Amino acid sequence: MAQPIVLTKPSLSSKEKKYLLQALEAPLQHRHWAGDGPFTRKCTALLEKRLDANKVLLTTSATHALDLAALLLNLGVGDEVIVPSFAFSSTVNCFMLTGAKPVFVDIREDTLNIDEALIEENITRRTRAIIPIHYAGVSCNMKRINAIAKAHKLMVVEDAAQAVNARYQDRFLGTIGDLGIYSFHESKNYSCGEGGALVINNRRFEERAEILREKGTNRSKYFRGEVNKYTWVDIGSSYLPSDLLAAILYAQLERLSAIQRRRKFLYRRYEQNLSMLAQGGKLRLPTIPPDCQSNYHIFYILLSTEKVRNNLMNILKSQGILAVFHYIPLHLSPMGIKLGYQKGDLRRTEEFSGRLLRLPLYPDLTTKQQDLVIRSIQRFFRQ
């Protein structure tokens, strides 16, 4: 059998190694392996400039950026947050850790993002925040979501873990709500293995976010020369990635556009080559609404039933092609059941998560490998 075709892998240029060695081997007086060193500053400046973001703080993961967001919102027992169930555990765990309760809302048919039309009926006097997830790098309806949040005095935390460098209208995802989060995990478009960022759009969170991220101290102020010693001023933990990881990330971020261009090329190739099957009603291709610009993070197809999806997934696997489902709905996971949810509660989430198949997509995927994936899918429907 030919080399297996994986689902996703980060793309490597010569720069990752160069910058990593620069950080690692810096002369003693400039050696900075801890967080918030020169490469962290470069990453932050690049992200703030390119994504037109007010303030970005690098974190050890998107999960930790979400933890910071939940702490900043000062949530506690009795509070509720509105989230899609078609989501990753981190998006909900961060709020559960504060004692708050997730209220799951169904998704839209086209983008599989939270259905903004269902949000208001789920708002109670305990609701504190809305957490839209931009699935696959395609935006939620942020105009409507921000309007609902404003009308009900709620905070908006955008889970843009998958959506770095994607846009809604003229703004970058992650910069539209009060807070945004990004992931730089190995599976994402830009990666340093494990990493993330908190984007602070609502300035009232700026000062406390720095403190919570730095073990509850005002060390960031001290480094900027704003105080003459630093001390313990609040609760917090350690959410800073090492500057060695930031060195790798900087090399990736320098190729922000090039990586996205390659992903777009492969995404469009899937679309073109599978369009006949879509026209014949065998499968559905992903939708990108006109006011959204994707970062082409995920390419998926929707099959007619869960059984067809599983058959195709297993056939591809037997041919060394890794295509996977995404996600098990949170409301039907063991934790979701403990929260009182049951099958049938969120019809679209249950239906689409059963029919979705994610295909291999990463910059180093060759067109030859992609053709193998496409041909296998075409053959499956001919049989």
Ligand X SMILES: Cc1ncc(COP(=O)(O)O)c(C=O)c1O
Q: Which sequence positions are flagged as catalytic? A: 188
Instruction: Annotate 302-343 with DSSP letters as a single string.
Output: EESSHHHHHHHHHHHHHTTB--B--PPPGGGSHHHHHTT--T
Told to check if 91 binds ligand X by CB under 6 A, we report: yes
The number of residues making up the chain comes to 383
Closer of 63 and 353 to ligand X (Cβ): 63
Q: Using CB under 6 A, which of the segments 28-36, 159-167, 220-228, 283-291 binds ligand X?
A: 159-167
**d(C-alpha 202, C-alpha 149), whole Å:** 14
Name the token pair of 44. Answer: 């932050």
Told to check if 111 binds ligand X by CB under 6 A, we report: no
Name the token pair of 320. Answer: 């060394």
The footprint of ligand X on this chain (CB under 6 A) covers a number of residues equal to: 13
**d(C-alpha 363, C-alpha 347), whole Å:** 35
In terms of C-beta density within 10 A (0-12 exposed, 13-18 middle, 19 or more buried), how is residue 279 classed?
exposed
Q: What is the DSSP letter of 205?
A: G
Closer of 116 and 159 to ligand X (Cβ): 159
Told to check if 161 binds ligand X by CB under 6 A, we report: yes
Told to check if 56 binds ligand X by CB under 6 A, we report: no
Q: Using CB under 6 A, which of the segments 60-68, 207-215, 249-257, 287-295 binds ligand X?
A: 60-68
Closer of 61 and 370 to ligand X (Cβ): 61
Told to check if 90 binds ligand X by CB under 6 A, we report: yes
Best CA proximity match to 296, nearest among 261, 251, 327? 261
- The span from the first CA to the last CA of the chain, in angstroms, equals 21
Q: For the segment 280-309, give every residue that binds ligand X (CB under 6 A).
A: none
Closer of 11 and 162 to ligand X (Cβ): 162
- Least separation, in Å, of the C-beta of 225 and ligand X? 32
Nearest 5°: CA angle at 203, between 198 and 295?
Answer: 40
**d(C-alpha 233, C-alpha 208), whole Å:** 10
Told to check if 61 binds ligand X by CB under 6 A, we report: yes
- Least separation, in Å, of the C-beta of 162 and ligand X? 5
Q: Using CB under 6 A, which of the segments 13-21, 41-49, 154-162, 273-281 binds ligand X?
A: 154-162
Q: Using CB under 6 A, which of the segments 59-67, 100-108, 211-219, 305-313 binds ligand X?
A: 59-67
Cβ-based neighbours of 176, under 8 Å, separated by 6 or more: 142, 146, 156, 158, 168, 201
Q: 234: helix, coil or strand?
A: coil
**d(C-alpha 169, C-alpha 190), whole Å:** 22
The residues facing 106 across adjacent strands are none
- Least separation, in Å, of the C-beta of 185 and ligand X? 4
**d(C-alpha 214, C-alpha 73), whole Å:** 17
- Least separation, in Å, of the C-beta of 89 and ligand X? 8
Name the token pair of 352. Answer: 């689409």
Of the candidate residues 11, 139, 162, 349, the single one contacting ligand X (CB under 6 A):
162
Closer of 274 and 330 to ligand X (Cβ): 330
Told to check if 67 binds ligand X by CB under 6 A, we report: no
Told to check if 88 binds ligand X by CB under 6 A, we report: yes
Of the candidate residues 23, 62, 92, 359, the single one contacting ligand X (CB under 6 A):
62
**d(C-alpha 50, C-alpha 174), whole Å:** 13
Of the candidate residues 42, 128, 167, 185, the single one contacting ligand X (CB under 6 A):
185
- Least separation, in Å, of the C-beta of 159 and ligand X? 5
- Least separation, in Å, of the C-beta of 173 and ligand X? 12
Alpha carbon 289 to chain centroid, angstroms = 19
Closer of 88 and 95 to ligand X (Cβ): 88
**d(C-alpha 170, C-alpha 299), whole Å:** 23
Return residues touching ligand X (CB under 6 A).
Answer: 61-63, 88, 90-91, 133, 159, 161-162, 183, 185, 196
